[in-house]
Amino acid sequence: MDKKGILIVVSGFSGSGKGTLMKELLSRYPDTYALSISATTRAPREGEADGREYFFVTKDEFEKMIAKDELIEYARYVENYYGTPRSYVEQKLNEGKDVILEIEIQGALKVKKSFPDTLLLFVTPPSAGELKSRLVGRGTETMDVIESRMNRACEEAEGMDRYDYLVINDDLNACVEEMHSIIQGEHRRSFRNQAFMKSMKEDLERLKEQQS
């Protein structure tokens, strides 16, 4: 089978637990997956290291990356840029690793446009009621906070259809294995195995000629 890695975008409801899920997936299968590291112009926070949480760059450097098409996607939140450097992703894919980007829908759709083979996964709790209780939390949040989270969830839900798979996060352990199994199954998609199909056809033709 073809050995190249798959580019995977993971999005999901805020409160769907996708951060924990990613961490667990990477710690269980470190040789299979690589997590893409974003570049940002915001200042590092306490405990963050350059090249681990983010690549920290200046605004000028970031804008040069945009100009040189060195970012797969980028966005500006408030005063800061965030983006996905192309080189790291391509290097890991060529090493045969499945590369995971944890970004939101706007970025997901941009990535899919430049890399049509990207796999889009959407993490969701098993029901809206369950999502609500995660959003409401332990009753320590103000009504305003809950309301704004709920509005955001409604927006996020609108994009669900654009994703290839829904990953139901009910039980963390089961969910990690399910996600792993979905991604590994995708490696068997015929469109991801053009080289295998080509060589199979060529080998068969050659064998047929030898026969006659």
Binding site for a copy of itself (CB under 8 A): 1, 122, 124, 127-129, 131-132, 143, 146-147, 150-151, 153-154, 157-158, 160-161, 163-168, 178, 181-182, 184-186, 188-191, 193, 196-197, 199-208, 211-212
Instruction: Output the six-digit token pair for 209.
Output: 């000629």
Instruction: Output the six-digit token pair for 137.
Output: 């939390």
59, 126, 71: which is closest to 103 by C-alpha?
71
Q: Which is nearer to a copy of itself, 32 or 55 (CB)?
A: 32
Contacts of 133 (CB under 8 A, 6+ apart): none
165, 123, 137: which is closest to 22 by C-alpha?
123
Q: Which is nearer to a copy of itself, 48 or 203 (CB)?
A: 203
Burial state string for 138-167 with b = 16 or more CB within 10 A and e = fewer than 16: eeeeeeeeeeebeeebeebeebeeebebeb
- From the CB of 183, what's the least distance to a copy of itself, in Å? 9
- From the CB of 134, what's the least distance to a copy of itself, in Å? 12
Q: Which is nearer to a copy of itself, 61 or 147 (CB)?
A: 147
- From the CB of 139, what's the least distance to a copy of itself, in Å? 14
CB-based contact 6:98 (threshold 8 Å): yes
Q: Which is nearer to a copy of itself, 57 or 121 (CB)?
A: 121
For every residue of 115-141, DSSP letters joined together read -TT-EEEEEE-SSHHHHHHHHHTTTTS
- From the CB of 166, what's the least distance to a copy of itself, in Å? 5
- From the CB of 185, what's the least distance to a copy of itself, in Å? 4
Q: Which is nearer to a copy of itself, 53 or 130 (CB)?
A: 130
